[in-house]
Amino acid sequence: MRTTYIARPSEITRSWYVVDATGKPLGRLASQVARILRGKHKPTFTPFLDTGDHVIVVNAEKAVLTGRKLDQKMHFRHSGYPGGARFTSYRRLMAERPERAVELAVRGMLPHNRLGRAMARKLKVYRGPEHPHQAQKPQPLELEF
């Protein structure tokens, strides 16, 4: 009789990867990064455990949005008060806070529960090419599109 493999927390090993967002479409970049954060690239993937790796995204300001998304796509947030809705175009978001745009895109592709929040904590996004995680010896990761 075969049994389904379930990873034990003691068996989970985490690696660090660096992804360069230069010239990459935001959505395609986010889906590949979310896959690594979830651990779906590993044979030990277990849906209800966080088996993923750490991902550092550099050059977030050089990620691109295709078509007319820069002007038509809006970021929504709400203060919690009546009339507290705020909309920001992605042109402004990418100009002022490109790290936030990448984080939002990746978080939208993770589970929307405490497991997804734990996975999102392993994502580090930086505007330029520099990052402070050299001590973790991150490996460069080429994403397939």
In the DSSP assignment, the letter for residue 123 is E
Cβ atoms 53, 44 nearer than 8 A: no
pTM equals: 0.93
Cβ atoms 140, 18 nearer than 8 A: yes
Residue for token digits 């929040």?
A: 117
Q: Residue type for 86, please?
A: R
In the prediction, which pLDDT does 2 show?
78
- Residue 23 falls within a domain, yes or no? yes
Query: SS3 of 84, please?
Result: coil
Output the DSSP codes for 108-124: TTS-SSHHHHHHHTTEE
- Residue 88 falls within a domain, yes or no? yes
Considering its fold, how many domains does the chain have in total? 1
Burial of 34 (0-12, 13-18, 19+ CB in 10 A): buried
**Domain ranges, residue 75:** 14-140
- Residue 63 falls within a domain, yes or no? yes
Candidates 58, 51, 43; CA nearest to 143 is: 58
List pLDDT tens digits, range 41-67. Answer: 999 999 999 999 999 999 999 999 999
User: What is the pLDDT confidence band of residue 120, given thresholds at 50, 70 and 90?
Assistant: very high
- Residue 2 falls within a domain, yes or no? no
Cβ atoms 128, 59 nearer than 8 A: yes
- Residue 91 falls within a domain, yes or no? yes
CATH number of the domain within which 117 lies? 3.90.1180.10
- Residue 86 falls within a domain, yes or no? yes
Mean pLDDT across 101-106 = 98
User: What is the pLDDT confidence band of residue 145, given thresholds at 50, 70 and 90?
Assistant: confident
Cβ atoms 42, 51 nearer than 8 A: yes
Assigned token pair, 132? 């402070």
- Residue 3 falls within a domain, yes or no? no
- Residue 145 falls within a domain, yes or no? no
